[in-house]
């Protein structure tokens, strides 16, 4: 069932469901989340069952206020506070040392927990009405594409979710950036806040997890597996247009490119889908999963995804495309 998030009655009903241990899908500024009461282990187990997600992959906790944070973590460092002041509410997930109140189901048995306060007004109102921390991974099957509309959630999960709150198209279209602050700050997952913005706040460069580090640190954060965010159709990620042309010789193949200039340079007889005609990375990010879902429904033989510029949000877009390769 899809219900409008603009109606307070629907949000109150969703909050009551969460309090009772049910699972609810709701919009955030990043993607749609599949939420459950973080203090109810039976509710948490429903998330893993619905998503067919292994319990070795941790969940992100969503709060409506920094006051909730104090009972969930052991310490809020000056660095953490600076980042919270700059980016919360917003699409930055921070990794803290957890308190005993946080279930091991949420953290994959580790002593760290991933937390953020979303910016989306519907999400914030729902969280306030619930009055609880809500664990909420993306509302899709494990390793498939994240949903950025309520309809995408319905198509992906069907009647496994009793209530889907419709908040329209998600603003960013990419999952949150995940930043560990356990030792020195390190980006574990590129996302809706570019690394450059974080570095500007901190005043120095920050580490980013390489492939080997991601494999070893993957339990600290969701989205770090080498295969993730994938359409059903086989996808090949190409760093250059030359590589892409080799795959576009076959019929029923579709390319997805950054902008009109890339499309023009590619000069293909096969269908080409553009993420942002004028080359805006924010628009491209918002369109990424929408366009991939549209292409997937057409059932081509192969999707050829071409890298976007690597600055800003481009690093997160390329991360999603590279991990969708199979």
Name the percent of the chain lying above pLDDT 70. 94
Which token pair is 46? 């429903």
- DSSP 3-state of 207: strand
The 10s digit of each residue's pLDDT in 194-249 is: 999 999 999 999 988 764 455 555 566 666 666 568 899 999 999 999 999 888 88
Axis crossing angle, helix 314-323 with helix 281-297, rounded to the nearest 10 = 20
What's the fold here for domain 235-323? Rossmann fold (3.40.50)
Strands 163-166 and 24-26: parallel
Choice between 216 and 157, residue whose per-residue pLDDT is larger: 157
* 161 close to 34: Cβ distance less than 8 angstroms: yes
- DSSP 3-state of 179: strand
Residue 311 reports pLDDT greater than 80: yes
Global pTM reads 0.94
Mean pLDDT across the chain, nearest whole number?
A: 93
User: H or E segment at 315?
Assistant: helix 314-323
In whole angstroms, give the CA distance from residue 315 to residue 318: 5
* Domain(s) of CATH 3.90.870.10: residues in the chain: 2-220
Nearest residue to 1 via CA among 200, 173, 160: 160
Contacts of residue 81, defined as CB under 8 A and 6 or more positions apart, other chains included, come to: none
In whole angstroms, give the CA distance from residue 267 to residue 205: 39
The 10s digit of each residue's pLDDT in 69-120 is: 999 999 999 999 999 999 999 999 999 999 999 999 999 999 999 999 999 9
* 215 close to 132: Cβ distance less than 8 angstroms: no
The 10s digit of each residue's pLDDT in 13-32 is: 999 999 999 999 999 999 99
Counts for the chain of helices (H) and strands (E), in that order: 12, 15
Residue 265 reports pLDDT greater than 80: yes
Nearest residue to 224 via CA among 110, 131, 78, 104: 110
User: Domain 2-220 - what CATH class?
Assistant: alpha beta
* 224 close to 209: Cβ distance less than 8 angstroms: yes
* Domain(s) of CATH 3.40.50.11030: residues in the chain: 235-323
Name the percent of the chain lying above pLDDT 90. 82
The 10s digit of each residue's pLDDT in 125-153 is: 999 999 999 999 999 999 899 999 999 99
HSE on the CB side for 303, CA within 13 Å?
Answer: 27
Q: Is the peptide bond before 167 cis (omega within 30 degrees of 0)?
A: no
């Amino acid at each position: 069932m899809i219900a409008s998030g603009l109606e307070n009655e629907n949000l109150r009903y969703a909050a009551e469901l969460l309090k009772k241990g049910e699972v609810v899908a709701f919009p955030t500024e990043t993607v749609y989340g599949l939420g459950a009461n973080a203090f109810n282990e039976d509710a948490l187990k429903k998330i893993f069952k619905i998503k067919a997600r292994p319990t070795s992959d941790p969940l992100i906790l969503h709060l409506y206020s920094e006051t909730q944070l104090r009972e969930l973590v052991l310490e809020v460092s000056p660095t953490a506070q600076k980042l919270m002041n700059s980016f919360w509410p917003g699409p930055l997930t921070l990794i803290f040392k957890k308190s005993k109140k946080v279930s091991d189901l949420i953290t994959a048995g580790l002593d760290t927990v991933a937390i953020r306060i979303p910016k989306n007004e519907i999400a914030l109102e729902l969280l306030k009405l619930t009055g609880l921390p809500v664990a909420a991974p993306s509302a899709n099957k494990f390793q498939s594409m994240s949903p950025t509309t309520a309809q995408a959630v319905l198509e992906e999960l069907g009647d496994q979710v009793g209530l889907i709150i419709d908040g329209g198209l998600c603003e960013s279209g990419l999952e949150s950036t995940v930043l560990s602050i356990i030792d020195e700050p390190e980006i574990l997952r590129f996302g809706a806040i570019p690394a450059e913005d974080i570095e500007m706040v901190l005043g120095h460069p920050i580490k980013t997890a390489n492939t080997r580090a991601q494999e070893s640190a993957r339990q600290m954060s969701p989205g770090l597996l080498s295969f993730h965010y994938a359409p059903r159709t086989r996808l090949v990620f190409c760093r250059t247009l030359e590589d892409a042309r080799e795959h576009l010789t076959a019929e029923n193949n579709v390319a997805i490119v950054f902008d009109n200039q890339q499309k023009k340079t590619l000069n293909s007889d096969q269908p080409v889908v553009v993420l942002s005609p004028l080359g805006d990375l924010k628009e491209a990010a918002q369109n990424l999963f929408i366009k991939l879902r549209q292409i997937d429904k057409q059932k081509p033989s192969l999707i050829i995804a071409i890298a976007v510029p690597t600055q800003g949000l481009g690093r997160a877009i390329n991360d999603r495309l590279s991990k969708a390769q199979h």
